[in-house]
Amino acid sequence: MDFIDKKIQSYAEMHTALEPDYLYELNRYTHTNVLQPRMLSGHIQGRFLSMISKLIRPDYILDIGTYTGYSALCLAEGLQKSGKLYTLEGNEEYAEVAQAHIAKSPLASQIILQKGDATRTIQEINYLVPAWDIVWIDAEKSEYELYFELCIDRVRKGGLIMADNVLWSGKVVNEKDLEKDEATRLLHQFNQKIQADKRVQNLLLPIRDGIMMMQKV
């Protein structure tokens, strides 16, 4: 994720609305205490997710891949007062950190954290809601196509699916990485699949590590 010029990154952060205090604390805690802190969405991407959610005003959000809860908390900012966000995490340690920080936020009553395998959990909760307004995919990269297929029929018309890390630190445009690295190859395959899928209108944004945006048509 270091393929964006650091000066441009810093300039963008300086001219982006600040994250709420509880998110700032979670950001610092994750970088200090949790493995792989680069998995955190972070300031700019977090404010992007928040703004998208506030524009849509969703009733139901599915967050696949909680990590320490940053993206879930950002997306939850736009929920309707009666809305719910379901966030899925298979790693017990990450889930505990996320639950603790979600509980300290003003959005705790609207966020439901589900532990366990995401593919199984998605199928279990898909029919607990009328339809998903937003789906955020940021879990096992090898399962992106499966996550998409499990969700697409349960997303309302006009609803939004977003997938993180689709540029994979720029590796998806490197022939050597495509040949040698399975994650790179599978993410490139996912991007190609979405480009050809007539059920969605898509836009790949070079924000942070790349976000594939897909609106159901």
Alpha helices in 57-107 (DSSP H): 70-76, 92-103
The pTM for the full model equals 0.96
Spatial separation of the C-alpha atoms in residues 133 and 155, rounded to whole Å: 6
pLDDT of residue 38: 87
Q: List the one residue out of 32, 94, 87, 25 whose CA is nearest residue 60.
A: 87
Residue 70 near residue 23 (C-beta atoms within 8 A): yes
Per-residue pLDDT 10s for the chain (217 aa) are: 667 888 998 999 999 999 999 999 999 999 999 989 989 999 999 999 999 999 999 999 999 999 999 999 999 999 999 999 999 999 999 999 999 999 999 999 999 999 999 999 999 999 999 999 999 999 999 999 999 999 999 999 999 999 999 999 999 999 999 999 999 999 999 999 999 999 999 999 999 999 999 999 9
Hey, what domains does the chain have and what are their CATH numbers?
A: 6-216 (3.40.50.150)
In this prediction, residue 4 carries a pLDDT of: 80
Say what the pLDDT of residue 156 is: 98
Distance, in Å, from the CA atom of 147 to the CA atom of 152, rounded to the nearest integer, reads 9
The Cα 70–Cα 129 span in angstroms is 23
